[in-house]
Each structure stands twice: as C-alpha cells, then as structure tokens.
A and B are shown apart, each in its own frame.
Chain A
C-alpha cells in the first residue's frame, strides 16, 4: 500500500496556497505509507528561480558548490540547499548541464530530479515530519505531487522513495507493484539506459521518460506503458506542462480524481481531497480501468 496525491492549479490566485493545500492533502494519505515520502513542486521560484535549473541529489558530498561551478564556464554561482537527505543545487544553466557537472565532480551522488520549474525532495521517516523538512507549508507554484510509501518490493531508503524523476521536469508516483519489471529493465538497459535503484517504479519512470524522449506525448506514453507492463498500478505522472493518471485494467489500487474550475486533484483516498476549496462543487470520479486521463496547462 502507498498513498498518492497530486494537485494541478488552474487559477493563478491559488498558486500562493499550493503548499498549505498539499500539506492538508498529504495528511490524508499518511496512513497509507508511513515509512517515507517524497514530493515534487512545480513553479516555486524561490526554490528554482526563473531562468535557472534545479538538480535534486541524494548522497551528495559537502562543499559541492565551488567544484560544480568550476565545471560550468560562465556560471558564477551554484546555490546549494540541504533539505534532509536531499540536496538541491540551482544555477543559471540548463538542467542537463548542471546534472552533468554534478556527476563529474561527485559521481557517488544520485540525481533524483532535474528541472527548469520542478524541485524534488525525497527522504525516509514519517511523512508529516518530512513535510516540515521539505518546508511544504511554504511552497508556492502551479502543481505538486507527493507520495507516501509502504515499501513492499525493495528497501526502505531514500533511493526507493517516490517520485521517480528521470527526465527534465518529469515525475512519476506509483501505488501498486509491477510484476514483469525486471524483464523490461533488461530491455531498457540493452538500449543504454542505466538505473539508480532496484525499484520497480523506477523502471516505469524510465520507460515513460524514454517514450517522451522519442516524441510521445504523456497520454501516448502511458498507453504504451499499459501495453507493456503487468501488475497492479495507479500512476500519476507530472511534467512541466501538466499531469496524467492511469490505472491497470483490474483497477484494484484506489484512485479518485476531483475536477474543479480552479484546480484538478488526484488522490488515493477521498479524505485527502475533502478539504480542498470548493470540493462540494467539484466533479469527483474514479478513473476507469486502463484509461489515461491527462490535463495540460
């Protein structure tokens, strides 16, 4: 069992309230995954300033800023923020360049999120405590997702924590388990894709990222995932353009979507949605088995 929440704000007047709304939503899924939690926040310019790139890392060494800056000609300053087990670097460059510089100077660290608009945090512990560590209450922006984990198939550590973010601005959270992921991982590895963990969800994330890189839109990539992967899953995938939800054909893993003129929200359980502004007027429904639901900005 795991818990998922996602909030996509349509009304810019709500952007300053993204964090408080996400904290309330997160409280509704803590019981589903008390061992660890991760979040991805989109559009918080205090965390990833306009025109800059953000890279989230695990196992980052100290004093990274100067060494990374020296790898980036023309970049004067690399800002480093320690957020629990996650280290976030921001600099006036592209996400790929920043990630590449980090890997060069600190190959032992793991890149767990790169974006121009998105920042990812991961860690183990009670999700309510982690919300404090991530300063979730202070978050602003247009979109956010979070995951609370109850590990079933790989270790409880920050690497196994969701979201899995393997392309620029792409994050994926999963409730369920894939069964044929080792086979698909080998296929992707033969295609030159490398993996950071033994986690099944990472295989789903890398599959989706590879399809997006080949030119698929998000809905098409998730339809392809449905054809390829066996197992039980409810997936929420976010990009710097929007978000999408898909469940397997048996739809055992819960999912509820609420659509309102001011926002679209998805959660594992209704109690995570109950406090959203205007929930009584929202269109609340369960996504049908095997169907992809997608929203764009």
Chain B
C-alpha cells in the first residue's frame, strides 16, 4: 500500500487481494482510500464500519459495499449483484449501472445509482434510501418494508410486489404494478422528501425545478396483504 498524501492510501487490486483491501478498511490507517483495477472483483469494500471515503476506479462484481456503515463509497464504473446490500448508514454512489438486488435489505444510508439498475432493486428494503438516475428493472421494491426509492427514469414490471411500506417515486413510466402496490397521492411532505433525496444525490438543480418534481408519481402499499383473511383459507 502506497501512501499518496496525508490520510490517503492507494490499493491496487492488480497486486493486492480483496481480503487485504477489506482487512485494511476494517482497521483503517487512513481517512481516504483509492482502489485501482477492481476488474469486477467481488465484495470490494464490504463491511466498512467507519466514516471513510473509498473511491473505486473501475467496475466491481458481487456485494460491493455490502453492510456499509458510515462509509462514503464511490464506484467509478458499474456494479454487479447486491451492491450495498444490508447497508446500515453512509453513502454508496455508483457512477455507471448496477446489477440485480441493489440495496437489498438496506436498513439505512443512501445508495445512488447514476445509470440504470437491474431487477429486484431494493428487495426487502428495511429503511434505506435509493436514488436511481436512469431506469429500474422489473420487480423493484419487492416486499419492501421501509425506506424510499426514487427512479428518475422508468420502472419495469411488477413494481412494489407485496410491498409492506416504503415510498416509491417514479418519474417515467411503470411497466406493471405488483400485487398490492398502488399509485398514491403526492402530498407536500412527500414532495419535500423527494426534493431532499434528489438534493442529497447531487441532483439539486433538478430538485429545485417544480416542473421536474411534478413529473414524479408516488407508489406504495394498498395494505391488503397485511393479514390473512378467512377468504384465503381455501387457498391452502
């Protein structure tokens, strides 16, 4: 590991292993890290548990920034399945696209995908926030329980299937709505929440434009699947 300047360290995954990188991030000797040549490696910067800044120069594989707590992690490329899964806090930013199950089960923090995101984004979301600059694939927010998802482009089929709570804001079209997911009214509190999320995602110019915000619709739970009812008894 080469120290570039006060508090910044560089780790080259063409030379060092992901285990060495993550061991360093779990007991950090610097404030800021630059990771070179990730070349699609798995579990890059997983389990960060401190307010570190980690910049990853390239594309990553599975589970990048998983379980992140407090870290500010930026991928200057695209991410494979399960990016920022189970995030607790902090900010994870993907400059490119992300694969399936992005932000799965996240309890907190903010995941920003500047490009498109694939299927099952925010599956079982438990309180984290996700902002997608482009489009979101099918089955987004599946069984989401809490948290917010903003999609600036279109959302695919089966949006919000079996959703408990969580707010979904989509600016473009929605393929189909999943079971128990409905379009909901957008009140002043929702509009403010949307504006704040866009601003946090570095989209402040758009967030201040009223007609841009007007383009969004809110989706959430119809709350019909919360309880088993006797009408369903014959189904089993």
Contacts and interface: CB of A to CB of B under 8 A. Distances in A.
A285 B99 CA distance: 9
B128 interface: no
B40 A271 contact: yes
Q: Is the interface of A mostly helix, strand, loop or mixed?
A: loop
A270 B59 contact: yes
Interface in A38-79: none
Contact of B40 (A270, A285, A288, A289): A270
Contacts of A254: 80-81, 99-100
A40 B40 CA distance: 25
A271 B138 contact: no
Interface in A218-271: 250-252, 254, 256, 269-271
A275 interface: yes
B41 interface: yes
Nearest to B58: A274
A276 to B, nearest CB: 11
A31 to B, nearest CB: 8
A286 interface: yes
Given A275-B39, A286-B118, A270 B81 contact: no
A28 B119 contact: no
Contacts of B137: 286, 288-289
Given A275-B39, A289-B119, A289-B138, A270 B100 contact: no
Interface residues of B, number: 18
A24 to B, nearest CB: 11
Given A254-B99, A269-B61, A286-B99, A274 B119 contact: no
B89 interface: no
B78 interface: yes
A184 to B, nearest CB: 26
B78 A284 contact: yes
Q: For chain A, which range describes its interface: under 10, 10 to 19, 20 to 34, or 35 or more residues?
A: 10 to 19
A273 interface: yes
Interface in A157-179: none
Nearest to A255: B99
Interface in A272-296: 272-275, 284-286, 288-289
Contact of A273 (B40, B100, B118): B40
Given A254-B81, A289-B138, A270 B118 contact: no
A274 B138 CA distance: 26
Contacts of B118: 251, 286
Contact of A28 (B40, B99, B100): B40
Interface in B47-70: 59, 61-62
A234 B99 CA distance: 15
Contacts of A289: 119, 137-138
A274 B13 CA distance: 13
Interface in B168-221: none
B100 A271 contact: no
Interface string B90-131: 000000010110000000000000000011000000000000
B100 to A, nearest CB: 7
A274 B80 contact: no
B40 A269 contact: yes
A274 B99 contact: no
B103 to A, nearest CB: 16
- Taking each of A270, A272, A285, A288, which has the highest tally of chain B beta carbons within 10 Å of its own beta carbon? A270
Contact of A274 (B59, B62, B139): B59
Interface string A93-109: 00000000000000000
A270 B80 contact: yes
A150 to B, nearest CB: 15
Contacts of B139: 250
B99 A271 contact: no
B126 to A, nearest CB: 21
Given A254-B100, A269-B61, A274 B81 contact: no
Contacts of B39: 271, 274-275
A270 B100 CA distance: 13
A269 B119 CA distance: 16
24 contacts: A250-B119, A251-B100, A254-B80, A254-B81, A254-B99, A256-B99, A269-B40, A269-B61, A269-B62, A270-B40, A270-B59, A270-B80, A271-B40, A272-B40, A274-B40, A274-B59, A275-B39, A284-B78, A285-B97, A286-B99, A286-B100, A286-B118, A286-B137, A289-B138
Rank and list the top 7 A-B pairs by shortest CB-CB distance, nearest first.
A271-B40, A270-B40, A274-B39, A274-B40, A286-B118, A271-B61, A251-B119
Given A274-B40, A286-B99, 7 more contacts: A250-B139, A251-B118, A252-B100, A275-B39, A285-B97, A286-B100, A288-B137
